[in-house]
């Protein structure tokens, strides 16, 4: 075998999940459109996008609780194309579905929930006990082991859901929006625990989220919108997809300033007394000079140039996707305008 073939073979062996041309339809609606994803062993891989982006549909197909309509999907090198093939890998996967405590039982205590999932997964009693104590200690739930699940906070429910997902020592865990509805402190705690477990146990994790501020936690990720892949790679690689600068300024009259700037920069919005815009394609000095020129004659109290965030790149990529689709569907005299109401600063 040539060196090239050896490298290709090793790359394939490292892939825990591989999807090519993945399509999922509901009636006449394509929820996922031609998705290509490769998740490598040991990665914390993110699917990031708003509701309706196709995240849950793809994850459910990976764990074989949902069929798909087109393309190829393999998990641990096993093509997922029949019930028999799906059964061959189910024991190596742990799923935590979307929603606080959706995989748990309200009237059972923390410990009873963990014990139930251990029996359900046929974990030998001695192994289950040792693993339970370790996981309860890591998640700091040991002191509350007798508390009923329905009396737990949102953050504690998610940590218990993670324990129950891990009790059978899976090689791959699928977590569908695990921090949605959880307070910021518990969100941070959840991510710290997950990162520790992945590093310690060599897990591979596929995690979905609608929060852009969580994107930097992933080894690699896919940005999804309307069932399509916008970008894939490390956070640093995705930031490089749409180079530019963020400018924050204060100028009066503000309305005049926004009208001038938005004519040249579609990603422009008022944030209280500030104006924030993405100067796509402009380096720091170029962005500063361009805005100084455009705001000439107005009173400029402040003008700061910053590094773009992943959210800025996400919105720019959505605009590009929209423009491409409309160029295909509409006559040349039409053009696409960026939405005037961008996503919130934290959730897409």
Give the CATH number of the domain where residue 79 resides.
3.40.50.300
The answer to whether residues 118 and 220 belong to one domain is: yes
In a domain, 337, yes or no: no
pLDDT tens by residue, the chain, 348 residues: 444 443 444 444 489 999 999 999 998 889 999 999 999 999 999 999 998 899 999 999 999 999 999 999 999 999 998 888 888 999 999 999 888 777 899 999 999 999 999 999 999 999 999 999 999 999 999 999 999 999 999 889 999 999 999 999 999 999 999 988 888 888 888 999 899 888 888 899 999 999 888 888 999 999 999 999 999 999 999 999 999 999 999 999 999 999 999 999 999 999 999 999 999 999 999 999 999 999 999 999 999 999 999 989 998 998 887 755 544 333 332 222 223 333 333 444
**How many distinct structural domains can be found in the chain?**
2
The answer to whether residues 190 and 52 belong to one domain is: yes
Domain, as residue range, for 65: 9-238
Q: Give CA separation, 167 vs 105, 113, 137, in Å.
A: 16, 11, 13
The answer to whether residues 229 and 140 belong to one domain is: yes
In a domain, 342, yes or no: no
What are the DSSP calls for 223-273, one per residue? Answer: EEETTEEEEEE-HHHHHTTS-EEEEEEEEESHHHHHHHHHTT-SSEEEETT
The answer to whether residues 219 and 253 belong to one domain is: no
Residue 262, Cβ density class (10 Å: 0-12 exposed, 13-18 middle, ≥19 buried): middle
Kind plus residue range of the DSSP H or E element containing 137:
helix 125-138
pTM given for the model: 0.83
- Kindly report the three-state secondary structure assignment for every residue of 139-201: CCCHHHCCCEHHHCCHHHHHHHHHHHHHCCCCCEEEEECCCCCCCHHHHHHHHHHHHHHHHHH
The answer to whether residues 259 and 217 belong to one domain is: no
Q: At what angle do helices 284-294 and 254-262 cross, to 10 degrees?
A: 120
CATH number at residue 295: 3.30.70
**What are residue 49's phi and psi, to 5 degrees?**
175, 165
- Kindly state the tokens that stand for 260: 């001038």
Q: What is the pLDDT of residues 25-66, one digit of tens each?
A: 998 889 999 999 999 999 999 999 998 899 999 999 999 999
The answer to whether residues 148 and 46 belong to one domain is: yes
Residue 23 contacts by C-beta under 8 Å, 6 or more apart in sequence? 30, 32, 33, 34, 35, 68, 69, 70, 71
Q: Give CA separation, 200 vs 196, 204, 220, 264, in Å.
A: 6, 11, 19, 49
Question: Which one of 190, 222, 238 terminates a domain?
Answer: 238
């Amino acid at each position: 075998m040539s060196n090239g073939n050896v490298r290709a073979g090793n790359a394939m062996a490292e892939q825990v999940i591989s999807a090519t041309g993945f399509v999922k339809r509901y009636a006449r609606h394509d929820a996922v459109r031609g998705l290509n994803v490769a998740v490598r062993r040991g990665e914390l891989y993110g699917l990031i996008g708003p509701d309706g982006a196709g995240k849950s549909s793809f994850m459910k197909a990976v764990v074989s609780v949902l069929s798909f309509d087109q393309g190829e999907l393999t998990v641990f090198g096993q093509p997922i194309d029949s019930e028999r093939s799906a059964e061959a890998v189910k024991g190596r996967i742990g799923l935590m579905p979307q929603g606080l405590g959706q995989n748990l039982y309200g009237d059972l205590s923390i410990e009873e929930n963990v014990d139930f999932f251990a029996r359900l997964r046929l974990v030998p009693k001695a192994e289950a006990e040792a693993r339970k104590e370790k996981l309860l200690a890591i998640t700091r739930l040991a002191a509350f082991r007798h508390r009923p699940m329905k009396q737990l906070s949102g953050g504690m429910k998610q940590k218990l859901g993670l324990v129950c997902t891990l009790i059978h020592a899976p090689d791959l865990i699928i977590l569908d929006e695990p921090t949605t509805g959880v307070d910021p402190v518990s969100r941070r705690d959840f991510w710290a625990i997950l990162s520790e477990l992945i590093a310690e146990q060599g897990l591979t994790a596929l995690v979905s989220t609608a929060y852009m501020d969580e994107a930097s936690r992933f080894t690699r990720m896919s940005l999804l919108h309307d069932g399509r892949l916008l970008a894939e790679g490390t956070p640093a690689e995705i930031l490089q997809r749409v180079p530019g600068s963020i400018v924050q300024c204060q100028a009066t009259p503000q309305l005049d300033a926004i009208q001038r700037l938005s004519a040249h920069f579609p990603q422009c919005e008022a944030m209280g007394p500030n104006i924030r815009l993405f100067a796509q394609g402009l380096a720091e000095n170029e962005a500063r000079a361009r805005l100084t020129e455009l705001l000439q004659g107005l009173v400029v109290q402040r003008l700061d140039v910053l590094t773009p965030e992943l959210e800025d790149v996400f919105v720019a990529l959505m605009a590009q996707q929209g423009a491409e689709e409309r160029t295909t569907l509409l006559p040349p005299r039409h053009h696409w305008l960026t939405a005037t109401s961008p996503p919130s600063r934290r959730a897409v």
